[in-house]
Chains A and B, each alone.
Chain A
Amino acid sequence: QQQVKQSPQSLIVQKGGISIINCAYENTAFDYFPWYQQFPGKGPALLIAIRPDVSEKKEGRFTISFNKSAKQFSLHIMDSQPGDSATYFCAASMRGTGNQFYFGTGTSLTVIP
């Protein structure tokens, strides 16, 4: 059973455009929602994260939007660049579970010059 559902599986965006990746979860005990970025041949690296007490978090061109009532969160990449081409994973975790993270299935983003 997939605890965190992610879409789309792949995404192609023109340089300068907005990339949007969506995730949904069912378990209301989740209280931490990170996004990881992975380049080919590398391990994932934390990009940005949010807790459910805020509806939005922005870091540079990357923004997480969080909708607690809908149990959804999304990653927006503004002014997308070819260097943003990577696989993106959303994840969720909850208190008291040994810091276990449940990952989405990943989105392969390609930004065309």
Chain B
Amino acid sequence: NAGVTQTPKFRILKIGQSMTLQCTQDMNHNYMYWYRQDPGMGLKLIYYSVGAGITDKGEVPNGYNVSRSTTEDFPLRLELAAPSQTSVYFCASSYATGVGTNEKLFFGSGTQLSVL
């Protein structure tokens, strides 16, 4: 199993450009997440999905969009990139068996994004 795979690993964007961060998992997990990690700030949840076709906002969703058309894939779209979106982005997945069951997160290796 590859686990959670993120691409690209590094990217530099100019202000105003757009891009999609790819995330795929091969563990048949129903839950998927996007976090951003900034120095001294920990990890902040951007968006999450509890299954194909279902997505919801996390703590810091502004400037991002997501879709979940399959169980395996959960791409994150940045529209009109801004310097404030310079960060390390982590995709994660988990298998939750129902309401009230918290399961461990499996993280990808991250995408380092710079917006200049």
Across chains A and B, the number of contacting residue pairs, with CB separation under 8 Å, is: 63
Query: Is B4 an interface residue, CB under 8 A from the partner?
Result: yes
* Size of B's binding interface in residues, CB under 8 A: 28
Bound CA span A41–B50, Å: 27
A34 and B42 within 8 A (CB): no
Query: Is A95 an interface residue, CB under 8 A from the partner?
Result: yes
Given known A98-B50, A99-B94, A100-B58, contact A46–B40 (CB-CB < 8 A): no
Query: Is B45 an interface residue, CB under 8 A from the partner?
Result: yes
B43 and A44 within 8 A (CB): yes
A101 and B42 within 8 A (CB): no
B105 and A46 within 8 A (CB): yes
Bound CA span A9–B96, Å: 31
Query: Is B92 an interface residue, CB under 8 A from the partner?
Result: yes
**Chain A residues near B40 (CB, 8 Å)?**
9, 105-106
With both chains docked as a complex, state the minimum distance between the C-beta of A7 and any C-beta of chain B, in angstroms. Answer: 12
Query: Is B79 an interface residue, CB under 8 A from the partner?
Result: no
Query: Is B99 an interface residue, CB under 8 A from the partner?
Result: yes
Bound CA span A31–B100, Å: 9
B42 and A106 within 8 A (CB): yes
Q: List 22 A-B contacts (CB under 8 A).
A: A32-B102, A36-B105, A41-B109, A42-B110, A43-B109, A44-B43, A44-B90, A44-B105, A44-B107, A46-B105, A89-B43, A93-B102, A96-B99, A98-B31, A98-B50, A99-B31, A99-B96, A100-B45, A100-B48, A102-B45, A105-B42, A106-B42
Chain A residues packing against B (C-beta within 8 Å): 2, 4, 6, 9, 31-32, 34, 36, 41-46, 49, 89, 93, 95-96, 98-106
